[in-house]
């Protein structure tokens, strides 16, 4: 029979706290988030994109300033100065920096105001989508059993719905508007997120730290939100940044199909839709709103890519049915 | 299938398919989650895997503070001080309060697990293979910490392990399990010196012996055959498929735990053909690796 | 296998049933003025009632729903409100357009996406990788309608202005009428759809290809002295394609149910455009029929994806 292992072995730093704190005077608590943030800051493309995003946000916030600098209201129709004698839009000039649209309105000012709509819908609808997706995914994955069976089936149903068709139909029934657009997008796009979160939770709930929490008497809600959620948050953040541009495109698409905000509110999809019939004569009419939209989605996507690289989870398709 | 073992049943992490858990004279086998909450304060657990049992995304301070938060014990303002006191007590640097588990070594992590388990002054600490995932050099520190804390806090330790030396070191009473059944139980001295059950005997013979003269006389006993599936255990005595002493009655009826001959009343053995004092098992070639694998559910027990 | 098919068919039917319930509830319960607009501006309340009775709108909702389900099970999706044309006929007429659009684009985007993905993975980190990835992300960020309009502007308008009137501004010519004209009309929509969707496949192929190329059996194949091209294509691509096939099935299923934006931009009367028109007219049976058909396409595609999975990867067992 062997003797019990020797008692005092000081090979662990913690065994002698005072020594260790001397050796390592500054105790920096570098969280995984800080680490990811640092990686992100080193990604030049991501930083450029972040700058573009900030610029667009500033454009949206200071849209009234743009209007006062140019002296043109967003919905003001300048029939004399803004339209050619044949009633066609005017090309960019000192008066109208980015030209005018078919009603003689200043395109620059309308783009600035349109940015408000795109960003607002992009952020709010994404927040709604992510909230529903995370809660459903957590509940289905952690609670399991009947809850999971039902929720998994609901996820299947939502994923099988032809999204764009139903979104258009719903908006046409309930009326076009900011709130309805946000609700429709939120109601039909959470399923991918829920599926991703559920998958993660299914493996996380078998981990011992969840068992430890249960052994301490933690409630299901506490385990789901305090113990499991932080572990899926990296993925959630990545998909959130990638979801924002998708939502912006969906909103623009709805507007393009005539289901945007009621006239004369400026929004990018609607502007491009109006420009459709003028692309042969007035290139600026479709180009500038199109560029604004493209710059925004591209910046968000590239930034999202950077975020993903920083966190480095696996990528999956989030784009079911968005395109077409 | 999930690995369900004695430890997680004692703490009611899993429901029992048979039998009961009695704590402090009270049957807690079928208590609901709500009824169980106060009991959880008294029975805490230390887990096998110090890497898996600490949430990688949460700071150590908040992990150790969990029991306070869950049981709404103590004011929020004093929590940090309480947690740091605990950290100090288990040999962690309290200044590491804001670190993440990944910044600690395996042994330190297990200390974090101990601190968390001690937070609410439990009466029973179920240690589920608490050192098997650690380096041998670190194992001693954790075991000594547990032994010290046991004395200091007046704890009862339920120590589940397959390491016979460790069990001998920490235990007062030992229960040996084979395929989910206790085959022999008794005070540590009696059981290690006078094993009655052939399985216990085989286990003990697999222990390395420091004295080379003794080593020869106590050559290892090798159990042959595979471990049967615990889902479909053999009939009668579960050990009969691999027991060199098995006879017809072992296949037919399951032996019950009872004192053998003139053993002390708390030394019980479940065997139809227990070994006599000093009797050796007939054996073939030694192979320690074989027995090591088979003893996952062996358990030791220690109580004050 | 048979058990798998039965189970999935049953679940698919359940999903479809839930979708009909949802759509029905939304469209028929919310107040609509179909009868009023059909009856004309000067219609008396009596006329409106008459129209409602003819369309079955005066029945209680649950009865309308039961009738719909019973008829749908017999392959009858009802008649449109305006021309009394069977919805099934409308779908059958629009389907070839959508299918030729979707399938043609699918071939293009698979070629484009998978090729780019493989090149990106094999030359991971190189200039080609970065260029291809950026290219993919650029079109991924591009709203479909914007790309469509840009293509129309440059390849139809500017080319025609310069005297090369190769691409038409839109519209559809059936293949059976004139294969050449059909192709001519399809090219721009195909390219639009393919470019927008290829990005997902480039990413997906690149990712899974990188994973696969790191596996031991690829090293084994290399150490056997196989040509690199053979290693990549035969040993690598086969296993790397599994997630690609999944996404392909999902996308194709979604598209067959209607390519709403592309069809609208290029004025092609496929399922998507038909649905949009029906929505604008509140032509409920047509909307319901197309939504049901589109959902069915997704459900069937999902089942096919799982079957394809089992064939590509022998480890996958169907259950």
Do A286 and C149 make contact, defined as CB atoms within 8 angstroms?
yes
Structural element, H or E, at residue B45: strand B43-46
Phi and psi, residue B284, nearest 5°? -115, -135
Residue B210 lies in a domain: yes
Q: Is the pLDDT of residue C162 over 90?
A: no
Is the per-residue pLDDT at C111 higher than 90?
yes
Report the relative pairing of strands B299-302 and B173-178 from DSSP bridges. Answer: antiparallel
Residue of B nearest to A16 (CA): B91
**Partner-chain contact C15 A157, CB within 8 Å:** yes
pLDDT of amino acid C240: 81
User: Which residue does chain A place closest to B9, by CA atoms?
Assistant: A215
- The mean pLDDT of C161-185, rounded to a whole number, is 85
Q: Residue B126's closest chain A neighbor by CA?
A: A215
Test A17 with B92 for CB contact under 8 angstroms: yes
pLDDT of the residue at A223: 93
Q: Which residues from C are below 8 Å from A160, CB to CB?
A: 15-16, 19, 295, 298-299, 302
> CA of C229, closest CA in chain A: separation in Å?
26
Give the neighbours of chain C: at least 3 Cβ pairs within 8 Å.
A
Do B93 and B212 belong together in one domain? no
The CA R_g of chain A, rounded to the nearest whole Å, is 26
Residues B155 and B277 grouped into a single domain: no
Residues B167 and B193 in one domain: no
Model confidence pLDDT, tens digit, residues A291-308: 999 999 999 998 988 888
Q: Are residues B106 and B202 in the same domain?
A: no
Q: Do B143 and A4 touch (CB under 8 A)?
A: yes
Supply the mean pLDDT for chain C.
83
Residues B113, B153, single domain; the answer is: yes
Best mutation site among A157, A162, A180, A284 for testing chain C: the one with the most C CBs within 10 Å?
Answer: A162
* pLDDT at residue C35, rounded to an integer: 66
Contact C260 A301 (CB under 8 A): no
Band of residue C208 on the pLDDT scale cut at 50, 70, 90: confident
Radius of gyration of chain C (CA): 24
B80: tokens are 């940090």
Residue C211's closest chain A neighbor by CA? A314
Residue B177 domain-assigned (yes or no): no
CB contact under 8 A, C275 and A168: yes
- Out of C14, C32, C196, name the one closest to residue A323 (CB): C196
Q: Which of the pair, A235 or A293, is modelled with greater confidence?
A: A293
Percent of chain A with pLDDT over 70: 86
**Inter-chain contact B108–A13, Cβ cutoff 8 Å?**
yes
Q: Which are the contacts of B35, defined by CB distance < 8 A and separation ≥ 6?
A: none
Whether B94 and chain A come into contact, CB under 8 Å, resolves to yes
pLDDT class of C30 with cuts at 50, 70, 90? low
Q: How far is B140 from chain A (nearest CA, A)?
A: 5
R_g of chain B, CA atoms, integer Å: 21
Domains annotated for chain C, with CATH where assigned, are 2-74 (no CATH), 92-314 (1.10.3720.10)
Residues B212 and B134 in one domain: no
Å from C225 to nearest chain A CA?
A: 32
Residues 37-76 of B with CB under 8 A from A: 37, 40-41, 44-45, 47-49, 52-59, 66-67, 70-71
3-state helix, strand, coil in chain A (%, to 5): 70, 0, 30
- CB pair distance less than 8 Å for A324 and C193: yes
Please name the residue of chain A whose CA is at the shortest distance from the CA of residue C130: A45
DSSP-derived 3-state class of residue A203: helix
Q: What distance in Å separates residue A203's CA from the closest CA in chain B?
A: 12
Residue where a domain terminates, one of B171, B204, B237: B171
Whether residue C291 and residue A279 make contact (CB cut-off 8 A), yes or no, is no
State percent of chain C over pLDDT 90: 18
Q: pLDDT (tens digit, 0 to 9) for every residue of chain B, 304 residues total?
A: 234 577 788 888 877 777 888 888 888 888 888 888 888 888 998 888 888 889 888 889 999 999 998 888 878 888 889 999 999 999 999 988 888 888 888 889 999 999 999 988 899 999 888 888 888 888 888 999 999 998 888 889 989 888 888 888 888 999 998 888 889 999 988 888 888 888 888 888 877 766 666 555 555 667 777 778 777 888 888 888 888 888 888 888 888 888 887 777 788 898 888 887 766 665 443 333 333 333 333 333 333 3
CA distance linking residue B182 with residue B256, whole number of Å: 9
Which residue in C has a C-alpha nearest to residue A296's C-alpha?
Answer: C141
Who wins on pLDDT, C231 or C116? Answer: C116
Nearest alpha-carbon partner for A278 in A99, A110, A111: A99
Which residues of chain C lie closer than 8 angstroms to A257, CB-CB?
260-261, 264, 276
Interface contact flag, B66 A218, Cβ < 8 Å: yes
Q: Are residues B167 and B262 in the same domain?
A: no
Cβ atoms of B82 and B48 within 8 Å: the answer is: no
Q: Is the pLDDT of residue A155 over 60?
A: yes
Instruction: State the count of interchain CB pairs (< 8 A) between A and C.
Output: 148
How close does chain A come to C13, measured CA to CA in Å? 11
Chain C contact for A231 (CB, 8 A cutoff): no
B82 belongs to a structural domain: yes
Put simply, whether the predicted model's pTM sits higher than 0.90 gets the answer no
Q: A323: pLDDT confidence band, cut at 50, 70 and 90?
A: very low
- Nearest CB among C19, C203, C290 relative to A161 is that of C19
Determine the average pLDDT of the residues in A50-67: 92
Confidence label for C100 from pLDDT (cuts 50, 70 and 90): very high
Distance CA C146, CA C143 (A): 5
Give the closest residue to B188 by CA, choosing from B153, B146, B159. B159
Give the mean model confidence (pLDDT) for residues A67-86.
80
Burial of A44 (0-12, 13-18, 19+ CB in 10 A): exposed
CATH class, A33-319 region: mainly alpha
C200: nearest CB among A161, A165, A317: A317
Rounded Cα gap, residues A254 and A188, in angstroms: 14
- Assigned token pair, A254: 């709805």
Region for residue B141 given its phi and psi (left: phi exceeds 0; alpha: psi -120 to 50; beta: otherwise): alpha
SS3 B168: helix
Q: Where are the domains of chain A?
A: 33-319
Are A20 and B93 an interchain contact pair (Cβ–Cβ within 8 Å)? yes
Which tops the pLDDT comparison, B43 or A82?
A: B43
B192 and B167 housed in the same domain: no
Confidence category of residue C110, pLDDT binned at 50, 70, 90: very high
Alpha-carbon gap: B167 to the closest alpha carbon of chain A (Å)? 9
The ipTM assigned to this model is 0.84
Per CB-CB distance under 8 Å, the chain A contacts of B99 are 27, 29
- Among the partner-chain residues B40, B111, B113, the one whose CB lies closest to the CB of A14 is B111
The pair phi, psi for residue B269, each rounded to 5°, is: -135, 140
Top pLDDT among C116 and A25 is at C116
Confidence (pLDDT) at A9:
40
Of A20, A218, A233, the CB nearest to B70: A218
CA distance A301 to chain B (A): 26
3-state SS string for chain C: CHHHHHHHHHHHHHHHHHHHHHHHHHHHHCCCCHHHHHHCCCCCHHHHHHHHHHHCCCCCHHHHHHHHHHHHHCCCCCECCCCCCEHHHHHHHHHHHHHHHHHHHHHHHHHHHHHHHHHHHHCCCCHHHHHHHHHHHHHHHCCHHHHHHHHHHHHHHHHHHCCCCCCCCCCCCCCCCCHHHHHHHHHHHHHHHHHHHHHHHHHHHHHHHHHHHCCHHHHHHHHCCCCHHHHHHHHHHHHHHHHHHHHHHHHHHHHHCCCHHHHHHCCCCCHHHHHHHHHHHCCHHHHHHHHHHHHHHHHHHHHHHHHHHHHHCCCCCCC
Q: Name the 3-class secondary structure at A23.
A: helix
- CB contact (8 A) between residue A217 and residue B137: no
CA distance A150 to A194: 13
Mean pLDDT (chain A) is: 81
Residues 174-193 of B with CB under 8 A from A: 192
Model pLDDT for residues A95-140, shown as the tens digit of each residue: 777 888 878 888 899 999 999 999 999 999 999 999 999 999 999 9
Q: What is the pLDDT, as a whole number, of residue A31?
A: 67
Tell me what pLDDT residue B192 has: 87
pLDDT at A53: 94
Of A15-24, A241-250, A286-295, where does mean pLDDT reach its minimum?
Answer: A15-24
B119 within a domain of the structure (yes/no):
yes
Q: Residue B212 is part of which domain span? A: 188-303
Average of per-residue pLDDT across A257-263: 80
CA nearest B207: which of B172, B236, B169, B180? B169
| Over residues C158-170, mean pLDDT | 83
- Out of A1, A4, A209, closest to residue B55 by CB: A209
User: Do both B155 and B195 map to the same domain?
Assistant: no
Residue A15 in this model has a pLDDT that exceeds 60: no
Range from A38-47, A134-143, B283-292, C3-12 that averages highest in pLDDT: A134-143
Point out the residue among B37, B93, B143 whose CB comes nearest to the CB of A17: B93
pLDDT at A30: 58
CB-CB: which of A11, A215, A233 is closest to B45? A215
B40 neighbourhood in chain A, CB within 8 Å: 215-217
More confident residue, A81 or C138: C138
Q: What DSSP line would sit under A92-124, residue for residue?
A: S-SSSTT-B-TTS-BHHHHHHHHHHHHHHHHHH
Nearest to C90 by CA among C102, C99, C78, C100: C78
Last residue in a domain, options B123, B146, B171: B171
Provide the number of structural domains found in chain B: 2
- Alpha carbon distance C220, C222 (integer Å): 5
CATH code of the domain covering residue B37:
3.40.50.300
Average pLDDT on C74-95 reads 86
B80 touches chain A (CB under 8 A): no
CA dist., res. A178 & res. A121, Å (int): 7
Q: What single-letter DSSP state applies at residue A83?
A: B
pLDDT at C249 (0 to 100): 86
Nearest chain B residue to A210, by CA: B53
Smallest Cβ–Cβ distance between C299 and the set A160, A256, A279 belongs to A160
Chain B positions in Cβ-Cβ contact with residue A14 (cut-off 8 Å): 91-93, 96, 104-105, 107-108, 111
B94 token code pair: 């309290």
**B124 and B31 in one domain?**
yes
The pLDDT of residue A175: 79
Helices vs. strands in chain B: H and E counts, helices first: 12, 10
Please answer yes or no on whether C193 and A323 come within 8 Å at the CB atom. Answer: yes
Min Cα separation B216/chain A (Å): 13
Residue of C nearest to A170 (CA): C26
Assess whether B151 and B31 both reside in one domain. Answer: yes
Question: Are residue B145 and residue B197 in the same domain, yes or no?
Answer: no
Instruction: Average the pLDDT over A195-220 and give the result.
Output: 89
CA distance B155 to chain A (A): 17
Contacts of B85 in chain A (CB under 8 A): none
């Amino acid at each position: 029979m062997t003797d019990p292992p020797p008692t005092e072995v000081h090979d662990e730093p913690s065994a002698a706290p005072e020594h260790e704190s001397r050796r390592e005077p500054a105790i920096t608590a570098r969280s995984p988030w800080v680490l990811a943030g640092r990686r992100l800051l080193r990604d030049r493309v991501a930083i450029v994109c972040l700058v573009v995003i900030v610029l667009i946000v500033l454009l949206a916030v200071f849209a009234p300033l743009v209007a006062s600098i140019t002296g043109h209201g967003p919905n003001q129709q300048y029939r004399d100065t803004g339209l050619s004698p044949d009633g066609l839009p005017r090309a960019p000039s000192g008066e109208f920096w980015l030209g005018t649209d078919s009603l003689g309105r200043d395109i620059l000012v309308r783009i600035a105001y349109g940015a408000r709509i795109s960003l607002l819908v992009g952020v709010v609808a994404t927040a709604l989508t992510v909230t529903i997706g995370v809660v459903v995914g957590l509940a289905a994955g952690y609670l399991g059993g009947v809850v999971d069976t039902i929720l998994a089936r609901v996820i299947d149903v939502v994923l099988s719905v032809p999204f764009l068709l139903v979104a258009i139909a719903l908006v046409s029934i309930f009326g076009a508007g900011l709130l309805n657009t946000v609700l429709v997008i939120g109601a039909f796009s959470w399923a991918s997120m829920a599926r991703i979160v559920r998958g993660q939770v299914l493996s996380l709930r078998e981990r011992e730290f969840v068992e430890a929490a249960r052994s301490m008497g933690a409630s299901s809600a506490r385990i789901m939100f305090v113990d499991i959620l932080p572990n899926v948050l990296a993925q959630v953040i990545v998909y959130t940044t990638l979801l924002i541009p998708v939502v912006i495109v969906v909103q623009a698409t709805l507007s393009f199909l005539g289901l945007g905000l009621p006239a004369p509110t400026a929004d990018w999809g609607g502007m491009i839709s109006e420009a459709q019939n003028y692309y042969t004569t007035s290139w600026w009419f479709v180009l500038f709103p199109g560029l604004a939209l493209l710059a925004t989605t591209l910046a968000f996507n590239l930034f999202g890519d950077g975020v993903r690289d920083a966190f480095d989870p696996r990528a999956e398709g989030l784009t079911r049915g968005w395109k077409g | 299938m999930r690995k369900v073992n004695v430890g997680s049943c004692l703490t009611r992490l899993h429901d029992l398919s048979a039998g009961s858990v009695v704590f402090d004279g009270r049957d807690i086998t079928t208590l609901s989650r709500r009824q169980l909450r106060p009991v959880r304060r008294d029975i805490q657990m230390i887990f096998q895997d110090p890497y898996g049992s600490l949430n990688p995304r949460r700071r150590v301070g908040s992990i150790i503070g969990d029991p306070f938060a869950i049981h709404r014990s103590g004011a929020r303002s004093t929590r940090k001080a309480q947690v740091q006191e605990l950290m100090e007590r288990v040999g962690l640097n309290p200044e590491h309060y804001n670190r993440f588990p990944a910044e600690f070594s395996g042994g330190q992590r297990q200390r974090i697990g101990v601190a968390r388990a001690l937070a609410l002054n439990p009466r029973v600490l179920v240690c589920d293979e608490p050192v098997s995932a650690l380096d041998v050099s670190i194992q001693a520190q954790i075991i000594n910490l547990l032994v010290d804390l046991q004395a200091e806090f007046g704890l009862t330790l339920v120590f589940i392990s397959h390491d016979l030396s460790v069990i001998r070191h920490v235990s007062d009473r030992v229960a040996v399990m084979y395929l989910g059944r206790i085959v022999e139980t008794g005070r540590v001295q009696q059981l290690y010196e006078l094993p009655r059950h052939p399985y216990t005997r085989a286990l003990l013979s697999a222990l390395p012996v420091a004295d080379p003269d003794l080593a020869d006389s106590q050559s290892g006993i090798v159990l042959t055959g595979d471990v049967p599936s615990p889902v479909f255990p053999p009939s009668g005595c579960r050990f009969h498929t691999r027991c060199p002493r098995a006879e017809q009655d072992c296949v037919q009826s399951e032996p019950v735990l009872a004192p053998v001959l003139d053993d002390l009343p708390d030394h019980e053995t479940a065997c139809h053909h227990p070994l006599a004092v000093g009797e050796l098992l007939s054996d073939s070639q030694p192979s320690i690796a074989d027995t090591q694998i088979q003893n996952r559910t062996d358990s030791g027990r220690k109580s004050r | 296998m048979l058990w798998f098919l039965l189970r999935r068919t049953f679940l698919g039917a359940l999903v479809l049933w839930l979708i009909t319930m949802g759509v029905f509830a939304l469209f028929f319960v919310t107040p609509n003025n179909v009868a009023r607009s059909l009856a004309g501006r000067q219609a008396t309340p009596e006329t409106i009632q008459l129209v409602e009775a003819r369309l079955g709108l005066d029945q209680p909702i649950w009865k309308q729903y039961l009738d719909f389900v019973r008829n749908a099970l017999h392959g009858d999706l009802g008649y449109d409100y305006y021309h009394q044309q069977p919805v099934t006929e409308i779908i059958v007429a629009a389907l070839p357009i959508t299918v030729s659009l979707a399938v043609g684009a699918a071939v293009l985007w698979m070629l484009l996406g998978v090729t780019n993905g493989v090149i990106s993975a094999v030359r991971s980190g190189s200039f080609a990788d970065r260029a291809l990835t950026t290219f993919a992300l650029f079109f991924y960020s591009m709203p479909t309608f914007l790309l469509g309009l840009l293509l129309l502007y440059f390849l139809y308008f500017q080319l025609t202005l310069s005297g090369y009137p190769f691409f038409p501004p839109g519209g559809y010519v059936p293949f059976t009428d004139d294969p050449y004209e059909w192709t001519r009309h399809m090219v721009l929509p195909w390219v639009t759809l393919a470019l927008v969707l290829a990005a997902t496949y480039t990413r997906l192929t690149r990712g899974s290809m990188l994973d696969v190329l790191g596996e031991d059996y690829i090293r084994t194949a290399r150490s056997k002295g196989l040509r690199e091209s053979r290693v990549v294509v035969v040993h690598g691509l086969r296993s790397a394609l599994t997630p690609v096939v999944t996404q392909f099935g999902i996308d194709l299923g979604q598209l067959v149910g209607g390519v709403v934006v592309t069809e609208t931009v290029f004025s092609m009367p496929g399922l998507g455009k038909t649905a949009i028109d029906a929505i604008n007219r509140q032509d409920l049976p047509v909307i319901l029929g197309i939504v049901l058909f589109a959902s069915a396409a997704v459900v069937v595609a999902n089942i096919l994806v799982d079957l394809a999975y089992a064939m590509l990867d022998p480890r996958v067992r169907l259950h």
